[in-house]
Amino acid sequence: MFTNKANTIFKDVIDRYHIINTVDQSFNNPYDKAAHTIEHLLYRKCWIDTVQWHYEDIIRDPNIDPVAALKLKRQIDASNQDRTDMVEYIDSYFLNEYIDVSSKKDATINTESPAWGIDRLSILALKIYHMDEEATRINATESHREACQNKLTVLLEQRVDLSTAIDTLLNDIKKGDKYMKVYKQMKMYNDDELNPVLRSQK
């Protein structure tokens, strides 16, 4: 199943990040970019998500310096754009993978593309990692650990369900029962022409 591969890569990314556990560490993708593999895209996608997860932790510090907070906000904005770009790259991979598939006459479209499901799966891997940390944190209260363990159980069940849904969608596309139609994310606030504030600065 495709999601077995994806979940394994996501776990590897998150584990590797937490060896050093800093947003400033260098990024080294073990999968060759030139080979245009899905593994390379999945690894890159989850790394972006993992760094951004920790950006979001840092910026919520009530004592953060305002100048540092503004700089971090810009980094989060850039990370969001990278995340969206990676989703589109992953969808492009699947469009090419199934380019020779002829959709059946009664084929239907899914509510989201495969890559946006994979995006949710990557974020879910991060939730599972950090909820497990809280469920086993020694200096937390027993009630806290128990509550987090209950949440972790739900997250693990959610991963099974989401993985099954993604694998089913990919299989349906491969059989022609579903078809892919990908809409590019037309975000406006990063565009010099579409954001009126940025446009006024030109």
Q: Enumerate the domain spans of the chain.
A: 2-194
pLDDT over threshold 70, residue 53? yes
Residue 158 and residue 120: Cα distance in Å, rounded?
Answer: 11
Beta carbons of 13 and 47 less than 8 angstroms apart: yes
Q: DSSP class of residue 179?
A: E
**Residue 23: which residues within 8 A CB-CB, separation 6 or more?**
51, 54, 55, 58
The mean pLDDT of 169-197, rounded to a whole number, is 82
Beta carbons of 26 and 47 less than 8 angstroms apart: no
Beta carbons of 182 and 119 less than 8 angstroms apart: no
The mean pLDDT of 8-18, rounded to a whole number, is 98
Residue 129 and residue 46: Cα distance in Å, rounded?
Answer: 13
pLDDT over threshold 90, residue 35? no
pLDDT in tens, 68-107: 999 999 999 999 999 999 999 999 999 999 999 999 999 9
Q: What was the pLDDT predicted at 198?
A: 65
Q: What was the pLDDT predicted at 36?
A: 86
Q: What was the pLDDT predicted at 82?
A: 95
Beta carbons of 115 and 91 less than 8 angstroms apart: yes
pLDDT over threshold 80, residue 56? yes
pLDDT over threshold 90, residue 195? no
Q: What was the pLDDT predicted at 106?
A: 97
pLDDT over threshold 80, residue 190? no
pLDDT mean across residues, the chain? 94
Q: What was the pLDDT predicted at 181?
A: 86
**Does an H or E element contain 108, and which?**
strand 108-109
